Amino acid sequence: MSENGSGGRVRPARPGDPSRIGPYRIVGRLGAGGMGTVHAGVGSDGTRVAVKVVHPEQAQEPEFRARFRREVELSSRVTGPYLVPLLAADPDAETPWLATAYVPGLTLHQHLLAHGPLTGGSLYALAAATAQALAAIHTAGVVHRDVKPQNVILTPGGPRVLDFGIAHAADGTSVTRTGVMTGTPGWISPEHYRTGTTGPGSDVFAWGALLAYAATGRPPFGTGAPDVVAFRVMSGEPDLDGVPAPLRQVVGKALAKEPDARPSAAEAARMCGELLASQVTQVLPAGAVPETAVDMVTALWDVPAEADPAWHVPPERPRSKRRLVGAVVLVAAVVGGLAGGAAALMPGDTGNGERTSSATPPASPLASAGSPRPSTDTAKDDTAGGKQQAAGDDLADAATVSWGQARAARGEGEHAVASALLHDLDVLARDISPIELSPGAVKFHSSRGEVYFSYRLDAEDEHGIVYAETEIARSMCLTLNDVVLRLHPELPYRTYVTVREEEGRDPQVTWREDFVADAQCRSALEDGTDAAYDIGQDWEPDDSGLGEAMVPSTDGTEIRVADRAATKIIERTNAMRGTLGTDQVLGHDEIKVGFDPANSAMYVWSDYLMWNQGQIETWADMAAGEACRALANQRQTSGDGWPYTRYAVAEIGGSGYLMIRWGSVTSQASCST
88 sits in which H/E element: strand 86-90
- Rounded to the nearest 5°, which phi and psi values hold at 238? -70, 150
- Residues 6+ away with beta carbon under 8 Å from 411: none
What are the angstrom distances between the C-alpha of 20 and each of 59, 90, 316, 320, 495?
18, 13, 12, 18, 25
What are the angstrom distances between the C-alpha of 143 and each of 1, 4, 52, 254, 613?
16, 20, 19, 16, 36
233 within 8 A of 221, measured Cβ to Cβ: yes
Closest CA to 471 of 484, 483, 453, 489: 453
d(CA 424, CA 356): 31
The conformation of residue 403, written as its DSSP 8-state character, comes to H
d(CA 241, CA 340): 70
Greatest C-alpha distance within the chain: 92
Closest CA to 593 of 618, 617, 629: 629
Q: Which residues pair with 38 in a beta bridge?
A: 31, 52
d(CA 548, CA 541): 11
The answer to whether 146 is a known catalytic residue is: yes
d(CA 43, CA 174): 35
> From the candidates 45, 92, 146, 203, which is the catalytic residue?
146
- Residues 6+ away with beta carbon under 8 Å from 282: none
Starting at the edge strand found earlier in the chain, the sheet holding 656-664 runs 591-596, 601-606, 646-653, 656-664
Starting at the edge strand found earlier in the chain, the sheet holding 152-155 runs 106-107, 152-155, 158-161
Starting at the edge strand found earlier in the chain, the sheet holding 450-457 runs 435-445, 450-457, 495-500, 508-514
- Residues 6+ away with beta carbon under 8 Å from 183: 145, 146, 148, 168, 172, 173, 174, 192, 198, 202, 206
35 within 8 A of 171, measured Cβ to Cβ: yes
DSSP string, 441-510: EEEEETTTTEEEEEEEE---SHHHHHHHHHHHHHHHHHHHIIIIIII-TTS---EEEEEE--TTS--EEE
What value does the CA radius of gyration of the chain take, rounded to a whole number of Å?
Answer: 28
Q: Regarding beta strands 36-42 and 48-54, do their DSSP bridges make them parallel or antiparallel, or are they unpaired?
A: antiparallel
> How far out from the chain centre does Cα 137 lie?
27
- Residues 6+ away with beta carbon under 8 Å from 665: 628, 631, 632, 635, 645, 646, 647, 671
Sign of CA dihedral 403, 407, 410, 412: positive
Q: Which residues are catalytic?
A: 146
